[in-house]
Amino acid sequence: MPDLLLELRSEEIPARMQRKAAGDLKKLVTDALVEAGLTYEGAREYWTPRRLTLDIRGLTARSADQREERKGPRTDAPEGAIAGFLRGAGLSSISEAQVVNDPKKGDFYVAVISKPGRPAEEIIAEVMPGIIRNFPWPKSMRWGAASMPKGARFAGIDGKGPESLRWVRPLQSIVCVFGPEHDETQVIPFEIDGLTAGNITYGHRFHAPDAVTVRRFDDYVTSLEKAKVMLDADRRKDVILHDARDLAFANGLDLVEDEGLLEEVSGLVEWPHVLMGEFEQDYLEIPSEIIRLTIKTNQKCFVTRPQAGGEGLSNRFILISNIEAKDGGKEIMHGNGKVVRARLSDAKHFWTRDQGDMPDLDTLEESAKKFDLDLKKPLDQRMAKLDALNVTFHAKLGTQGERVARIRALAQELAKVTGADPALVDRAAVLAKADLRTEAVGEFPELQGLMGRKYALLQGEDSKVAAAIEDHWKPNGPSDRLPEDKVGLTIALADKLDTLVGFWAIDEKPTGSKDPYALRRAALGVVRVLLERNVRTSLINLIETIHLIYLERFEALHALKFKSETGSYRTKASLMLKEPASVDAFWYIDKEALTPGKDLFKVEVDIFNEEKVARFLPVEEVSYSLLSFFHDRLKVYLRDQGARHDLIDAVLTPDSDDLLMAARRVEALTAFITSEDGRNLLAGTKRAVQLLAAEEKKGTVVADGVSEELLRLDAEKALWAAIVVASKEAAEAVAKEDFRSAMEALSKLRAPVDKFFEDVLVNDEDAAIRANRLALLKAIREATATVADFSKISG
């Protein structure tokens, strides 16, 4: 069976787009071919900085013949209906249709439409232009005459004409050859915007720029290899990694590996060549994290460390060249070294300035007083500056200073739960965001938290406070580590909960795949902290506390007096507030979110020439919506830990706001349900609960409680006695958080439940007795509900 080779060669494609683009090409082409009636045995995509390649093996030579029977109207139908049928079926005369008899509906027309198969070459030439023209690049461009302004004329091209080709970078050539594995192949010469597909490609831009003629994939790979192009990206990564390790080892060093950087540099070169550069030892005084980011971000190079171990780096770095230089790479290493030195000089300047005093300390006294800051300390100065500048956190949620004030207040409440030192928690909360005003974090946002820790230690802060400044960002994903101690744990929870409640209150929740504020990650972080650090707390209470803090901060920070009711400001928004509001505030809350108590009056203000009015949702709506969101994250977490989805659903109720206890119930239920007692509990409970649910659905009356006077038969008396004992034992066990013992107590109901259903007719003719017997089943459901809803467990 024939194979298809496709190559799209262009100027350099950004490294971050290459892997996905190659995958998109594979999917688009194979889907289009299959939809057209072709099949294939296998397909694999390849990519380099200058080309996307697709190798499809075992493609059928032509599509299969198709026969379709299309049912039409009755033979006595109006002429208009028959004419429409003929047009739709592509028939020129009704005589070309068949007449089929239906005993019930009578005679009707049927068109038999036969479509002969098409050659694969024809199909490929038909689908490829559309795929290339509509390729889903995140960003694309036009070039040459087509890039001129709309309406311009150049070389006979009218900007008002048909849409010109857009590609990530200028597309230079297309290879499209098709044929059997061993016989001669043929070119499929489709055309798009002046480019005609052929069998000519080109090698390395510098080492082998001449044309290369290819026939099939195997000689294509071989020819490119001779032309200094390594087609397989994973092979390029492997070569880079092993050569870099070997070069570092030969110089008495270890490579500091970085998978993300390795992926990127493999997309920057077609013929990788590993070299080593160096910089002055003096720069090693800079924190290793800054050195590593400087060299990685600006020069796409790897750093090294001494083989003796430790956290320090060496003054050598590994760079990846795209050429084999005649001088062994001396000029390349020299040039990269100059750039790295310049970047490290800037980094050292940032590092030094961040440890010095700010020039405008006299303007920071008010902010320093507000947060109990010591303006003799550099990090305190940065926090005061962050507040004094009114740096916006979010237009509807206030400034970073207000955010820190909220986190500070909430952290004090959380310290009672986590057992952290309140004084250390307060200090850590105040300094947690201070490094946002440092020059090092301004240059490298990835270092926020980590630089705060370093600066805190330099100014003599407690080690737990310094650790909390770094750790309050954590966990930053499902595999990230948790905060080191209780202080960091407390600030991390306060930070994430403040963010979640704030965005929920202004109705900025994640939708579908969109989560611009990383709220899912924040919620998962809260779940991990609570479960993996054994923190018991009521999420509803915390959410309500934060919601109240938001409202209090609004009233305290934005309520100012006006000279008159309307003021002298241009009208942009009409607000109804119980206190006049500052016109330079970033956001407002409308009257429905405020506590009534004073007369409302109208204030017309200009809000930065934009209407930015924040309306906080009611606390009840925020609480239960956000709690449901936490439940979703908890389910994801527990399923990743191996818990069954039905057991999670059986434990979680809409009011479950102690996530640690919910997780422990799931754990106990998982261990218990597979035992003999567990099977007994499940069987006995489900039978009773299902019958009760069926009767409730029909509207059958169920007594409010069990009346012993109406228990006539020994089986129902025995069941009631067993329920009383089991309920008492289960309740005592749950109070001790011993869920296994609670389930063992409830499992003893199996025998009396079976006996009850053998000897007792629940739907007795006497309505009072029937209601009482249903109340017995309701008592079973209520007893087991203290542990889980067993009706949701499968099996």
Asked whether 755 and 792 are in contact (CB, 8 A), the reply is no
Residue 87 has pLDDT above 90, yes or no: no
391-425 per-position pLDDT tens digit: 999 888 889 999 999 999 999 999 999 999 999 99
pLDDT at 93 over 60: yes
Task: Look at residues 223, 236, 245, 244 and name the one whose alpha carbon lies nearest to residue 177.
Answer: 223
pLDDT > 70: percent of the chain: 89
Segment 121-142 mean pLDDT? 94
Q: Token digits for 77? A: 């139908």
Tell me which of 228-242, 481-495, 542-556, 750-764 is least confident: 542-556
3-state secondary structure of 607: coil
pLDDT of 570 reads 26
Secondary structure (3-state) at 476: coil
CB contact set of 107 (below 8 Å; sequence gap of 6+): 74, 75, 76, 99, 100, 101
Which of the four pLDDT bands, split at 50, 70 and 90, describes residue 379?
A: very high
The pLDDT of 388-393, averaged and rounded, is: 92
Least confident of 68-82, 197-211, 307-321, 566-580: 566-580
More confident residue, 14 or 685: 14
Q: Is the pLDDT of residue 58 over 90?
A: yes
- pTM given for the model: 0.76
pLDDT given at position 592: 40
CA–CA dist 462, 451 (Å, integer): 15
pLDDT in tens, 261-304: 999 999 999 999 999 999 999 999 999 999 999 999 999 999 99
pLDDT at 153: 44
Q: Which pLDDT does position 158 carry in this prediction? A: 46
Is residue 105 over pLDDT 60? Answer: yes
Distance CA 540, CA 537 (A): 9
Q: How far apart are CA 4 and CA 734, in angstroms?
A: 66
Q: What is the mean pLDDT of the chain?
A: 86
Number of CB atoms found within 10 A of residue 141's CB: 13
Calculate mean pLDDT across residues 541-564: 62
553 confidence band (pLDDT: 50, 70, 90): low
pLDDT score for 595: 39
pLDDT at 736 over 70: yes
CA distance 464 to 472: 12
pLDDT reading at 142 higher than 70:
yes
Q: pLDDT per residue over 511-545, tens digit each?
A: 888 899 999 999 999 999 999 999 999 999 999 98
Summarize pLDDT for 216-249 with one digit per residue, the tens: 999 999 999 999 999 999 999 999 999 999 999 9
pLDDT at 628 over 60: yes
pLDDT interval class at 162 (50, 70, 90): low
Tell whether the torsion through CA atoms of 424, 425, 431 and 435 is positive or negative.
positive
Question: What is the pLDDT confidence band of residue 150, given thresholds at 50, 70 and 90?
Answer: low
